[in-house]
Structure 1
Amino acid sequence: MKTKKIINTVSAIILALFALLTLFLSSSVIFDWFGIRAKEGNYVLLIVWANFICSILYLFAVYGFLKRAKWTFWLLITALGILIVAFIALLFYVNNGGVHEAKTINAMIFRMLVTLSFSLVVFFNINKKLK
């Protein structure tokens, strides 16, 4: 029992850091804070908005981790769904000759794997009824 609490707390801390970093970077591109938009090069606005929305969902998920709320799983699955849809749209965009940064595809794969990992942590440590 204590191990699950430690896993949830550590997961919440890591997810909070990931969420805040994502929120800062995506909002900096959207609102052009600190000249980050120019440094990002050929960003895809759909991906930036998907990351921004997911960062807000991640912050709510942090609260869910700390409260051991069962809805945390569904919140993270929703974020994963948003990322998957945005990634599919990105692939269509790229295949149709859209200008993008090569790192965007790798970053999206990484973000989807991180979100899936946190979803699995919630599934196995909080959502006993879903097993």
Structure 2
Amino acid sequence: MGELPLEIARQRELRNSYGHFFYRFAEGESGADVFDRVSTFLETLYRHFAKPDYPANTLVVTHGLTMRLFCMRWFHWSVEYFESLNNPGNAESRTLLRGADGRFALERSFDQWRTTPLGHTILDEPPGRPSG
């Protein structure tokens, strides 16, 4: 029958308090769980990249959260930076483009709902002051 609206609201409140990356919904996964699966996928993808006949481009179709987690893993973003980003809208895409230096960059960044510098972590906060 599905969860009651009050239970969903309670879990969302817990997620907002605990953090979107680490909170695991009842009967669900946390962002950290999906991050681990994305890491395993990338290991496989890297092996395929090494094949001489592998195509020049790869298309990955996924949900917005997984898209952000893929980018988090690819670009080594901190949890704090990841949590400051919004998911893309329905059917939005993001493209990784290789620059002249061989490094990849997003052609369009994710919107931020909270200003958090790219390399910022909770360890950068002054003692006794919570982040966010």
TM over 0.5: no
Larger C-alpha radius of gyration, 1 or 2?
A: 2
Instruction: Calculate the TM-score normalised by the size of structure 2.
Output: 0.29
Question: Which has the larger share of strand?
Answer: 2
Instruction: Calculate the TM-score normalised by the size of structure 1.
Output: 0.30
Q: Which has the higher contact order (CA 8 A, sep 6+)?
A: 1
Question: Which has the larger share of helix?
Answer: 1
